[in-house]
Amino acid sequence: MDNLDLKIIYLLKENSRITIKNISKKINLTAPAVKSRMDKLIKNKLIESFTIKVSSTLEKRKFISFITLFMKTTSHEQLQHFLKNNIGVLEAYRISGNGCYLIKFIYKNDNDLITFLDQISLYGTHQINTSIAQIK
Amino acid sequence: MDNLDLKIIYLLKENSRITIKNISKKINLTAPAVKSRMDKLIKNKLIESFTIKVSSTLEKRKFISFITLFMKTTSHEQLQHFLKNNIGVLEAYRISGNGCYLIKFIYKNDNDLITFLDQISLYGTHQINTSIAQIK
DNA sequence: TATGAAATGCAATAGTC
DNA sequence: GACTATTGCATTTCATA
C-alpha cells in the first residue's frame, strides 16, 4: 500500500469506469502493473465494491428517524452488538452531550419503528426526532 | 425510462465495471443499444457518478456532530439555502419532535465547528451531540 | 430505438528481467 | 514488482431498418 495505490483509488473513486490503460498513463505505470495492483486492492478489501450513485428520485421513499438513547443499564457491548446486526440501523454513534447513543434508523412503516423502540427500551429511554423532509 | 433502464442501473450498482457486452447479454439487447441507453441515463443524471466503495480504514479521520437547530426566525428558505451550500453539512433534515432541523456536520477541527455554529446562530439556538465513536 | 459490421483500442496472459 | 509482446475480445461509430 503506497502512494500509487492511493492514486489508483482516487482515480477510481472519481470514475470507476476509467480504463486501466488510462490509469496507467496518469500514474506512469504500465497497464499490467495497474491491473495487478487493482487486483490486490480488491483482494485485500481496500476497494470494497464498484458501484454507481443513482439519482435520489429513483430510490424508494423511506422514513428516517434519529433516536437518542439514554442508557439506564451498562450493557454497552450487548447493545452495540444488537445495533450492528439490525438492518434498519444505518448509523450509530456513541455521543457526549445529551444522551449516550445517536442512532439513524430507516424504516418502511410504524410497525418497524415500534419493534425497534421496544427492543432498545431494554437498555434505556429514548427521544426520537423524525425527518419530515430531507433538505440535503 | 423503462424496465430495461432499471435493469441496467441495477447491474451497474452491483458492479460498475461490468462490460457493456455483458449487460447486453443479460438483458437481451445489443451492445450499442446498451451504450446509447447508458449515455442517456448519464446525460439525464439518473446515473450521477461511477464510483467505488473504499475501506473505511482508508478514509481520513474526521469529527462528526449532530446539531439540532431550534428556529427563532422563520427564514427557512434562507437557512436551507445556506445548508445546501455548506460543504461540512453532510445531511440536513427538517424534523418534528424536539427541534426544527437535525444537521449532520463533519469537520477537521474546532474552528470549523465554531464558524458553523456562529453562522446558524442567526437562525436560532442549537443543541449539539458529538460522536465519540462510530459503532456502525 | 434497435441492429449488424468494421475499425480501433483495451484487457489479460505469458514470459522475462 | 514491473516491463514487453501477443492474442482475443470489447467498445464505438456508422449506415440502415
Q: In chain B, which residues have their Cβ closer than 8 Å to the Cβ of A47?
A: 52-55
B31 beta carbon to strand D: under 7 Å: yes
Q: Which nucleotides of D are covered by protein (CB under 7 A)?
A: 1-5, 9-15
Whether residue A42 contacts residue A71, with contact meaning beta carbons closer than 8 Å, is answered with: no
* Residue showing cell 426520537: A128
The pLDDT tens digits for B17-66 are 999 999 999 989 999 999 999 999 999 888 999 999 988 766 665 788 99
Distance CA A17, CA A11 (A): 10
Name residues 38-57 of chain B with a Cβ under 7 Å from nucleic strand C: 40
* Residue B30: CB less than 7 A from any atom in strand C: yes
User: What pLDDT, on the 0 to 100 scale, is given for residue A18?
Assistant: 96
Cβ–Cβ under 8 Å, residues B91 and A136: yes
Strand D within 7 A of A15 CB: no
pLDDT interval class at B76 (50, 70, 90):
very high
- The answer to whether residue B3 scores a pLDDT higher than 80 is no
User: Between A and B, how many CB-CB pairs are < 8 A?
Assistant: 165
Best mutation target among B93, B94, B117 (most A Cβ atoms within 10 Å) is: B93
pTM equals 0.56
State whether the beta carbon of B113 lies below 7 angstroms from any atom of strand C. no
- Indicate if the pLDDT at residue B1 is higher than 60: yes
- Exposure class string for B70-86: b at 16+ Cβ within 10 A, else e: eeeeeeeeebbebbeeb
Report the number of secondary-structure helices (H) and strands (E) in chain A: 5, 5
pLDDT (tens, 9 = 90+) of chain A, 136 residues, equals: 677 888 899 899 989 999 999 999 999 999 999 999 999 999 988 899 999 998 876 666 578 899 999 999 999 999 999 998 787 787 899 999 999 999 998 887 788 899 999 999 999 999 999 998 878 7
Query: Is A53 in Cβ contact with B47 (below 8 Å)?
Result: yes
Answer for the pair A129, A116: CB distance below 8 angstroms, yes or no. Answer: no
Identify the burial level of B42 via C-beta atoms within 10 angstroms of its C-beta, where 0-12 means exposed, 13-18 middle and 19 or more buried. middle
Closest residue to C12 (CA to C1') is A32
